[in-house]
Structure 1
């Protein structure tokens, strides 16, 4: 008997004995209870109890003659029945649970996320919750992955604004380029992502270190506000450079490199940051 099919049936709410009895009937039916026991491996002492349970659920049909004979519900009908039941349960749960207050005791905790895949998955989950505005600093590699989710958000009326850490082209979003990307990657040890949704929820971290990538997410206003303002600050700089690049670069060097040298994290701070990752 195929153990994979047995496992699938058990995930569909069959016990092991019920799954074995049902498969035996699919292979050869109708069968008496005694024959089901012989063909399925279900103990004779248990087979009528097992078949009775399947009969109550409509999974087997019984012809009550001198010797009761059992036949299985065809697989297509079984699966359609299971699907209808699951959809009904989800519908009832959806209607019932929405009447309960949402109690999020840990809502404002700071959650640590490890691994680039987990970080991207969390970013997409947060993007799905957006209703008004998405602010995002992102590199081309990660932008390509989350592009579909961002477009879906834009299609439902969310304003999507990107600070592109490299060449990013998204025709449904407002995209602003961030200067000195290569220098920044070198300083901070890789690519990062900063996301703010509806000014209520943020995700920030480094995403290019595979399993060693680290990020944090929270709805704590004490962190949401300054991190959202960090993205807005970079948007300010982008707008100002568009209008007055020549004047600013004359004072502060190409891509304002002299300002970066003056205010960026020192080598010891960067070393400590990378050691944590």
Structure 2
């Protein structure tokens, strides 16, 4: 990243231009006294010590103990510590602001539905919801999207969030309640992603090979409850079909309406193949037991 870009980024995080220049100058060469730093980073000598004092307040630089009579030297605080400090301060400010704004709200604000366009932006929003979840995540989607969320899902489970996931394809390597459906979904080739976080935040996305992926995000409580119930049902249906494919195929074929039979033909075929595979495995297992006995 170029010097100008780094300076602009630090300014976005609350640094002044002189503060950004001084901090970057010290990272490149340290320790330095004010006069030396002025030469290195281009901040006027008359402003450099004021700037260093402000950087001390930001916990971005430290003074070094030196010989009496020698110019005061400064050392940069490592970037990781600076970013962690800024992040914590920013988070605390946001939490305080949220409390103050909520206190001003006479009634509940109108619910907002945010439209999101583009796969990258959709996955960034999904990742944010997973990282912010505190209690429960309900999730259903294709292998490609779930793989992109795998690390955030692992971190969520590690901090105690309960995850229930229905994976359409290879599942993410996540501890929790995960079921996998390896057949072709009725919406294929369009993939979809449904995420409910803490029964409050909802993201619904479609990924079509023919159009730009789109999604909507909302905090509508009713929709969150409905989708949570839907995902629970899907979880148990997939789990049941994996365990008893012949039974599920028979039950589904009996209740399908005529107009839906073409749409569900591939699912019925997949369940039939799963049942045949399961029966073959059971036959082979019995034969092996008889041989051993």
Q: Same fold (TM over 0.5)?
A: yes
Please tell me whether the aligned partners of residues 186 and 263 of structure 2 are also in contact (alpha carbons under 8 angstroms): no
The secondary structure found in structure 2 opposite 1:149 is helix
The secondary structure found in structure 1 opposite 2:204 is strand
Where do residues 259-270 of structure 1 align in structure 2 (5 Å cutoff)? 260-261=260-261
Query: Alignment RMSD, CA only?
Result: 4.9
The secondary structure found in structure 2 opposite 1:176 is strand
Please tell me whether the aligned partners of residues 154 and 172 of structure 1 are also in contact (alpha carbons under 8 angstroms): yes
The secondary structure found in structure 1 opposite 2:226 is helix
Structure 1 partner of 2:157: 154
Where do residues 104-143 of structure 1 align in structure 2 (5 Å cutoff)? 108-143=111-146
1:13 to 12, 15, 24: 15
Distance 1:83 1:196, change over 3 A: closer
Q: Which has the higher contact order (CA 8 A, sep 6+)?
A: 1
Partner Cα distance (1:216, 1:208) in 2 = 15
2:237 is aligned with 1:237: yes
1:120-146 CA-to-partner distances (Å, cap 9, x unmatched) read 111111112222221111211122221
Distance apart, 1:232 and its partner CA: 2.1
2:79 is aligned with 1:76: no
Partner Cα distance (1:252, 1:84) in 2 = 54
Distance 1:175 1:30, change over 3 A: closer
Structure 1 partner of 2:215: 215
1:63-104 CA-to-partner distances (Å, cap 9, x unmatched) read xxxxxxxx7854536989977985895587478547535359
Structure 1 partner of 2:277: none
Distance apart, 1:216 and its partner CA: 0.7
Please tell me whether the aligned partners of residues 177 and 238 of structure 1 are also in contact (alpha carbons under 8 angstroms): yes
Distance apart, 1:170 and its partner CA: 3.2
The secondary structure found in structure 2 opposite 1:184 is coil
The secondary structure found in structure 1 opposite 2:231 is helix
Please tell me whether the aligned partners of residues 111 and 218 of structure 2 are also in contact (alpha carbons under 8 angstroms): yes
Structure 1 partner of 2:192: 192
Structure 1 partner of 2:268: none
Structure 2 partner of 1:173: 176
* TM-score, normalised by the number of residues in structure 2: 0.59
Partner Cα distance (2:218, 2:195) in 1 = 11
The secondary structure found in structure 1 opposite 2:100 is coil
Q: Which runs of 5+ in 2 are unaligned?
A: 64-70, 265-293
Partner Cα distance (2:201, 2:6) in 1 = 44
Please tell me whether the aligned partners of residues 122 and 215 of structure 2 are also in contact (alpha carbons under 8 angstroms): yes
Distance 1:120 1:257, change over 3 A: farther
The secondary structure found in structure 2 opposite 1:137 is strand
* TM-score, normalised by the number of residues in structure 1: 0.62
Structure 2 partner of 1:249: 249
